[in-house]
A and B are shown apart, each in its own frame.
Chain A
Amino acid sequence: MEENAKYRQFQEAVLRVVSDPHLTHEQAMMQLSRLAESYTEGFPMPEGFLELQDELNEMSAMGEGFVPYVPRYILPDYDKLMREGCQFLRLDPPTNLREAINTLEIFYHHVPSTTHFPVFIGKLDRLLDPFIEDEAEAKVLIKDFMRFIDRTISDSFCHGDLGPEATTAGRLILEAERELQDSTPNITLLYDPDKTPDDFACLCVQAALDCAKPSFANHRMFSADLGENEYGIASCYNGLLLGGGSYTLARLLLNNIAFHSEGKEDFFQNRLPRAIDVQCAIMDAKIDFLVNKSAFFRSNFLVTEGFVHPDRFTGMFGMVGMCECVNDLLKKEGVAGRYGHDEVANALGDEIMAFIDQRVKAHHNPYCPQTGGRFLLHAQVGVDSDSQCSPGVRIAIGDEPELYDHLRHCGRYEKYFVSGAGDIFPFESTAARNPESVLDVIKGGFAAGMRYFSTYSSDSDVIRITGYLVKRSDMEKYDSGKAVQHDTVALGANSMRLRHFDDRKLRSLC
């Protein structure tokens, strides 16, 4: 593009942002910074990238821009903060609950990510539980802490973990969340039926039916993939190494790759391998810039003080639209079958997954030593402008099979996605009367190979859009033209319009 034309386009974009009444000051500031990143090229574009992203929409670099100056997802070592404090922020190790909470609140403010907010705020129960002496006092402090997080972290891609063991802190966090009914933070129970007592897991189910959190992570599966005490769940449902994270995320749009293919052969021989290779190349280029050119890994206190270690970062290789991809390829081959319903379609899904898995594993990146030099697969949930494409490997909304078949289907594909895959099963509010029944469904799902299970109920104000949480009442406010605190509300409202997540099949356990 002509330099002048590009500059004009940049100016127009800036003017649009500063005059948008939907945006809070913080949101406007962040969008302006995003513009700077997307109009500056820090590295040469890999061959084929612009064609695949801008013309064909077969892959996407997720709007990260071309001068990455912070890893996309950071999971700081909060145990170290509790143990040693932080020199840069002049924080001593906390000695009581009030200090522990205050220390975390200060620290969160300085943990960046692609959203500029912390996407991982720690294993909250384990951080706080050692400081609990008086439960009544703890309850008040923890509730204020959770409210502080919601009101200062204005983006619901912010995640805290609980479990697998039951703790007083864990229980108090659940109680606070049920009372607060806020969208942030997102919470996951690291669930292992051998380690998590049923009564605590049932409390989690009841909280989830009440306020859409926590979700349930298959702790055994994540532990086998990443190491038992080595991982945390960040952002939507991303399993990543503690004291590390992910440099970047890019995604394939499998639906469009299939759409541009003549048939199965063209898809497997030409289109899919090309898109995979270009996606690996753009991820390599970004990581190289981030590690070798940006200041983060040289000077940020998180790195210099050892809250994160460069060798514990990886790259997330994402994908969306498996459902539409499979259905389109079958149609082109003249084969009858529907993804999620017919074996011929599911078998093609297996074939596609095995192909991607193998090719991505064969790619080596020197800056991901802790994940064996490999990128980790990620079932990306989509972006707010997507339409006609289902999240990751999920079955299309409105076409969901019966509950057990659906869960088995999840189990069949989610195993590939070490850095996250999951599905959402909203229940009628009556399920809250028998949380054990929902827990049985989760146990069965995990036994069948599911990685991550989310639920909410027909009555919830807080609901899960794809991976993040939004209050229905906030979306109504946003749709009526008002500014709202959390930037994820806009994403939710747009996604609802384009991808109809409200039509997700409501499950009843009779």
Chain B
Amino acid sequence: MLRAPVNKIIPQSSVDGPGNRTAIFFQGCNFSCHYCHNPETIHLCQNCGTCVADCPVGALRRDEAGTVCWDPARCVGCDTCIKVCPHLSSPKVRLLAVEEVLAEVEKGMPFIRGITVSGGECTLYRDFVVSLFERVHPLGLTALLDSNGSRDFSADAELLDTCDGVMLDIKCFDSAIHQKLTGQPSERVRENAVFLAKKGKLTEIRTVVIPDYLPNEETVRGYCELLAPYLSAGPIRYKLIRFRPFGVREPYNRLETPSEEYMEQLAEIARGYGFADVISV
């Protein structure tokens, strides 16, 4: 049976695409961004057991095979396990079947207009995602992907057909800096952005803004210039996200949070390229 590691499911989200949506966060990412706001979703659990001893309420244990097991009934959600994890992971990940995720989604009806799969990186579980999306559409729900853009969408017609839109994380335009920041070059992300925009499937692009650390303005200008010709194929929201230290690992949590004025300057640049829907959060 098709299963995928799920970090968490948020039944009501207003920040993962249009309207109210159920957001499913997969575990595991092929990027390792310095400023990641939920670095515990980057790797799968190594079963090292470090967290077991530190859990203040005994909600973690190792079974005979040495696998770390989590007891949600005992867990108080203090996140000590995540803080002490040496592998950027979490013991609270559940390996779920499509039906199990679907059951969670159905609990949110009729209050949601759709679902968004996020991560980690959701396209690492491409088969699972396709199967899930095929099941949610008959329910009258829309299905969006929130991706880091590392998968070649132009080579996966099935994935593209089953999703209603993609929200792409745009970390940085410059490939060398992108490589340094995430561990991967930026060319694929750029190609995907253009490809998806042409197809009218690029719902949103989003950029985390960190003053004096990333070339924020260059990234905004670079992508706006790249995508502006395709705005006629479908509106693209540009969401500019202020860097905040919460959840970010050392030493990157000491990076600077941008001012509202700076965010507005960047938003103005995007609007100048014809992006009508620019929000700063």
Q: Which residues of A are interface residues toward B (Cβ below 8 A)?
A: 402-404, 407, 430-431, 433-434, 436-441, 443-445, 447-448, 509-510
Contact = CB atoms under 8 A, between A and B. Distances in A.
B110 A443 contact: yes
A404 B14 CA distance: 15
A510 B111 contact: no
Interface in B13-54: 13-15, 18-21, 23
B10 A510 contact: yes
Interface of B: 10-15, 18-21, 23, 107-113, 279, 281
B111 A509 contact: no
A448 B14 contact: no
Given A403-B12, A509-B14, A510-B13, A437 B110 contact: no
A445 B20 contact: no
30 contacts: A402-B11, A404-B108, A430-B14, A433-B14, A433-B15, A434-B14, A434-B19, A436-B19, A436-B20, A437-B14, A437-B20, A437-B21, A438-B20, A439-B19, A440-B19, A440-B20, A440-B112, A440-B113, A441-B20, A443-B110, A444-B110, A445-B111, A448-B111, A509-B14, A509-B15, A509-B20, A510-B10, A510-B12, A510-B13, A510-B15
A436 B20 CA distance: 7
Nearest to A443: B110
A448 B20 contact: no
A433 B13 CA distance: 12
A402 B113 CA distance: 18
Contacts of A448: 110-111
Contacts of A447: 110
B19 A437 contact: yes
Contacts of A509: 12-15, 20
Given A403-B12, A510-B12, A441 B23 contact: no
B15 A441 contact: no
Contacts, number: 64
A219 B183 CA distance: 54
Contacts of A445: 111
Given A434-B19, A440-B20, A510 B110 contact: no
A354 B112 CA distance: 31
A404 B11 contact: yes
A404 B107 contact: yes
B281 A433 contact: yes
Contacts of B279: 433
If over half of B's interface residues share one DSSP class (helix, strand or loop), that class is named, otherwise mixed; here it is loop
A443 B113 CA distance: 10
Given A440-B113, A509-B20, A434 B108 contact: no
A69 B181 CA distance: 77
Nearest to A507: B12
B111 A403 contact: yes
Contacts of B19: 434, 436-437, 439-440
Contacts of B18: 434, 436
Contacts of A434: 14-15, 18-19
Given A403-B12, A441-B12, 4 more contacts: A434-B15, A440-B113, A443-B110, A443-B111
Nearest to A405: B107
By CB atoms of chain A within 10 A, which of B12, B13, B20 has the most?
Answer: B20
Contacts of B108: 404
A407 B10 CA distance: 17
Contacts of A433: 14-15, 279, 281
Contacts of B10: 510
Contact of B23 (A438, A443, A510): A510
Contacts of A404: 11-12, 107-108, 111
Nearest to B239: A433
A122 B11 CA distance: 39
A438 B12 CA distance: 10
Contacts of B107: 404
A412 to B, nearest CB: 14
Contacts of A510: 10, 12-15, 23
A430 B108 CA distance: 21
A72 to B, nearest CB: 35
Contacts of B109: 444
Nearest to B280: A433
Nearest to A440: B20
A439 B279 CA distance: 19
A83 to B, nearest CB: 41
Nearest to A431: B14
Given A437-B19, A510-B23, A407 B12 contact: no
A444 B113 CA distance: 9
A61 B11 CA distance: 43
Q: In the A-B complex, list the 3 residue pairs whose CB atoms are closest, starting with the nearest.
A: A444-B111, A437-B14, A509-B14
Nearest to B15: A510
A430 B11 CA distance: 17
Contact of B111 (A430, A431, A436, A441): A441
A510 B23 CA distance: 10
Contacts of B14: 430-431, 433-434, 436-438, 509-510
